[in-house]
Amino acid sequence: MAYRGTAYHGFQIQNNANTIQAVVQQCVGKVLNEPVTIHGCSRTDAGVHANQYCFSVQTNSKIPNIGFIRGVNGELPKDISILSCEDVDPDFHARFSCASKEYLYLIHNSECKNPFTTDLAYHYRRKFRTELVMEAAQHFVGTHDFRTFCTNCAENANTVRTIHSFTVEKDGNTVKMLVKGNGFLYNMVRIMVGTLLDINEGKIPLEQLDAIIASGNRLLAGKTAMPHGLYLNRVFYGGEES
């Protein structure tokens, strides 16, 4: 599915908060005519969007895939859409079967705000030095302990992740940061983006970035970038890697 996360407090069900999981689960159950639990591929934060989000659900219903798509889309609000549906093995799990994920961070880089992207891209007024930021982003590529870029990580948590690629492109007023990895910690992408923006502004020297990554100290990294610029862009399963 794809969704615009503006009106939701993230994916995961919460008490007294509107979430993607709660809304989708209710609509899926109504179409399948049975109570269900949907399992998501990621716990996106409040205000974060998804271009491609995978969830899995077990059902006794014999509804065809196209019937599921049309039926659930007919129940969902306008800011959530089922894109595709397929049958999988019973042991498939949207989160634990996922091989890698790709996130997009979108920036509107202009003195003037864009009223059409108010909650869909981060408005950033300062001059954007694309080559510098791209060079800095390459320091994240590879296998590292990313504890520095995690909010409230438990001391005994495994914080080692592998970043496969990190690209930065600027086209007119639009900056796209695209990062792909085998997994991400809580707020990891947003903190990496915030750190790159601090490097862009000269607040963090590029030559200190490797030491900051190795430090494990969240206080040395940059700010946590705003959630509304972040999209879960693609998820990969099995041999899918492009």
Which residues are annotated as catalytic? 45
Q: What are phi and psi of 33, to 5 degrees?
A: 60, 40
Q: Which of 99, 88, 98, 106 is nearest to 50 (CA)?
A: 106
DSSP state of 31: H
3-state secondary structure 160-217: EEEEEEEEEEEECCEEEEEEEECCCCCCHHHHHHHHHHHHHCCCCCHHHHHHHHHHCC
Structure tokens at 52: 């491609």
Q: Distance between CA 9 and CA 12 in Å, rounded?
A: 8
* 219 three-state secondary structure: helix
* 17 three-state secondary structure: strand
Residues 6+ apart with CB under 8 A from 156: none
Structure tokens at 29: 């159950």
User: Around Cβ 156, how many Cβ atoms within 10 Å?
Assistant: 6
Alpha helix locations (H) across the chain? 20-32, 65-75, 130-137, 188-200, 209-215
